[in-house]
Structure 1
Amino acid sequence: MKKFKSLVLFLVLGFLVVFSAACGSGASTQEDTNTGSDDKKTEKEEAALEGSVVIDGSGTVYPFMSKMAENYMTENEEVSVEVSRAGTSAGFEKFLVEENGTDFNDASREIKDEEVAKAEELGIEYKEFQVALDGLTFVINKDNDWATEMTQEEVVKIFLAEGGVTKWSDINPEWPAEEIKPMGPNENHGTNEFMFETIMEEKDFVDSVNLQQEYSTLVDLVSKDKNAIAFFGYGYYESNKDKLNAVSVDFGNGPVAPSLDTIGLDDAAGYKAFTRPVFTYLNVGMAKEKPQVLDYAIYTMENAQTVASETGFAPLKDDVIQESISYLEGLK
């Protein structure tokens, strides 16, 4: 009997040892599994982008950059991309400040010497990127059926103080003897500067020109006045074709209508004389400091050609895009 009790006790103790070992092994496995899961979660959290990207500047570039921001935020929900349109010059004022400047400034002209000097004074490193090509477009009222085609010289004369053109009949005696209402964006916009500096060769605007801050105001004014003519980027015409007509311009080889196909063409069929690149300027310091800013810059260049075509711009060539992407990748 005594031997039997000893045997039972031995078996019970053995069972407890095996059970404890099994439980210990299971606990260890569970702990290892949880640790691995936490590591993966931490890595994922560290890789996720968050924070803000602040962009201001050109009203011309605004439709392009606004669409780009919308697309980006769909894929990166924790990043807020804020896009405003103070105008190129006003945008540079917000970009070139000692603290809390914008991350990007969109521009419909290149940065000026005095803006370069200010950047150097403040120690701000920036990088210029072309994002698309735009065609300076002259728009008229839907009821204007006489001025649908003009030569480059004729359309520019309308806006020149020395042009001697005040009525449509001054251009063509068969046209109405009614006063022309020239309009365009004001001096805050790079489009105004492109018109003044490049197209008008820095000659004064006619006194009667009506210069506005908002492109939507210009669209409205021209759509309501059959004697109005305004200039702005092709994208604003593209999105308002139901309200406006575009003037086909003869650069010497017959009238050319502005379009995504003709803007920037090098041959005689192109709209090249009124074509310009549009830009965004990146604060390189912010790109190095804030991962979301650099990521957005890369995303913008990778998708620039697609978004350009969708927002009324002619896309850049592949080699221009790739050069920009390579530079940005080098900042990582």
Structure 2
Amino acid sequence: MKRSKKFSLLALLAAIMVFTAACGSGEPAKGEGKGGNEKAELEGSVVIDGSGTVYPFMAKMAENYMTNEQEGVSVEVSRAGTSAGFKKFLVKDGTDFNNASREIKDEEKTEAEKLGIEAHEMKVALDGLTFVVNKDNDWADDLTQQEIVDIFLAEKDKKKWSDVRSDFPDEPIKTYGPNENHGTYEFMFEKILEEKALPEKINLQQDYSTLVDLVSKDKNAIAFFGYGYYASNKDKVNAVNVDFGKGPVEPKVETIAEDGDYAPFTRPVFTYLNKGMAKEKPQVLDYAIYTMNNSQEVAKETGFAPLPDEDVKATVEALEGLK
């Protein structure tokens, strides 16, 4: 009798285990939506070019999407620069997205209209223009906003470090930055220097990696680019803290915000979606929505300040409306 009861109990436990497994844990498996709904498996390509500043963010996003979301989709991310990227975006059968560290210009909007391209703006994160110096530079830990402007314009005879402050070395300042293909150059020219032309002596480069290498080898160098790129090269260069009038502010995710202490040098960064491509290629729209839904997490991972929740929600709702 005892043996029979023991057998019945074991059978009951086995039945419960089978029922539980059949019901599942409540968590959707890969390829399923919330509530267990199967998500369509997509395939094809998504082609992205543009800003070198936005590149680390978008490259990480693409990696996550192909690994965790849609293994059958190939997301190709390049970094020609914002302006050069728009030239690839604003052509027949151009790129699906253009990353940009500035807003689209009026003349680019006009070109889009001529071609019948609807460029849908997606703000993805916030970035801080960061000024970096050589690791052996032990004097320019902080500079005022005006001193930075004077250095890059070589105004008021600010050609040597000692011209900036008398206790700085009597050595020539070497200035570096990204070239005209980049939205970062345009932000510096338009917003920081108030459209005053950079002198010919500044060394402008296409690749940010080249800028990092040049500064790391030149004790008297100073360069500018986005915070995200500095964050991934902290072992090679130092960031300058900037005094906007209330004491030096360190560029970091916590200060780079529209109302943060680093706000004068803060800017939004974008990607622009070709709405026509989104309608023709379901993977393109799916990637756009995935990007916004995961933008805050990836921003923090790649050296950007995340957008507020309400901004992300509004953009996702607009993209969902394209379905």
Q: Same fold (TM over 0.5)?
A: yes
| Structure 2 residue 78 is matched with structure 1 residue 78 | no
Query: Equivalents in 1 of 2:39, 2:158: separation in Å?
Result: 64
What is the CA distance between 1:206 and its match in structure 2? 2.1
**Partner-residue secondary structure (3-state), 1:294:** helix
What is the CA distance between 1:266 and its match in structure 2? 1.8
Deviation per CA, 1:169-207, whole angstroms, max 9, x where unpaired?
001011111000000000000000000011000001122
What is the CA distance between 1:163 and its match in structure 2? 4.5
Residue 302 of structure 1 aligns with which residue? 293
Query: Equivalents in 2 of 1:120, 1:310: separation in Å?
Result: 36
Query: Equivalents in 1 of 2:113, 2:283: separation in Å?
Result: 25
* Equivalent AA in structure 2 for residue 194 of structure 1: F
Q: Would you say how many aligned residue pairs link Structure 1 and Structure 2?
A: 286
Residue 180 of structure 2 aligns with which residue? 187
**Structure 2 vs 1, CA of residues 199 and 46 (structure 1 numbering), >3 Å: closer, same or farther?**
closer
**Partner-residue secondary structure (3-state), 1:193:** helix
Root-mean-square deviation (Å): 1.3
Query: Equivalents in 1 of 2:119, 2:141: separation in Å?
Result: 42
Query: Equivalents in 2 of 1:280, 1:137: separation in Å?
Result: 21
**Partner-residue secondary structure (3-state), 2:272:** strand
Residue 100 of structure 1 aligns with which residue? 93
Residue 223 of structure 1 aligns with which residue? 216
* Equivalent AA in structure 2 for residue 258 of structure 1: P
Deviation per CA, 1:284-323, whole angstroms, max 9, x where unpaired?
0111111000000000000000000000000000010000
Runs (5+) with no aligned partner, structure 2: 1-36
**Structure 2 vs 1, CA of residues 320 and 46 (structure 1 numbering), >3 Å: closer, same or farther?**
closer
Query: Equivalents in 2 of 1:265, 1:180: separation in Å?
Result: 31
Residue 21 of structure 2 aligns with which residue? none
**Partner-residue secondary structure (3-state), 2:152:** coil
What is the CA distance between 1:155 and its match in structure 2? 1.0
Residue 6 of structure 2 aligns with which residue? none
What is the CA distance between 1:117 and its match in structure 2? 0.4
Q: Any residues of structure 2 matched to 1:83-162 within 5 Å, and which?
A: 83-97=77-91, 99-162=92-155
Q: Any residues of structure 2 matched to 1:16-55 within 5 Å, and which?
A: 47-55=40-48
| Structure 2 residue 54 is matched with structure 1 residue 61 | yes
Deviation per CA, 1:123-150, whole angstroms, max 9, x where unpaired?
1111101000000000000110101111
What's the TM-score, normalizing by structure 2? 0.87
* Equivalent AA in structure 2 for residue 226 of structure 1: K
Query: Equivalents in 1 of 2:270, 2:156: separation in Å?
Result: 31
* Equivalent AA in structure 2 for residue 191 of structure 1: T
* Equivalent AA in structure 1 for residue 209 of structure 2: S
Residue 172 of structure 1 aligns with which residue? 165
Query: Equivalents in 2 of 1:229, 1:161: separation in Å?
Result: 13
Query: Equivalents in 2 of 1:214, 1:264: separation in Å?
Result: 26
Deviation per CA, 1:15-72, whole angstroms, max 9, x where unpaired?
xxxxxxxxxxxxxxxxxxxxxxxxxxxxx99932000000000000000000000000
What is the CA distance between 1:264 and its match in structure 2? 1.4
The structure with the largest alpha-carbon Rg is 1
Query: Equivalents in 1 of 2:277, 2:294: separation in Å?
Result: 21
Query: Equivalents in 2 of 1:120, 1:265: separation in Å?
Result: 31
Q: Any residues of structure 2 matched to 1:230-309 within 5 Å, and which?
A: 230-264=223-257, 266=259, 270-309=261-300
**Partner-residue secondary structure (3-state), 1:159:** helix
* Equivalent AA in structure 2 for residue 308 of structure 1: A
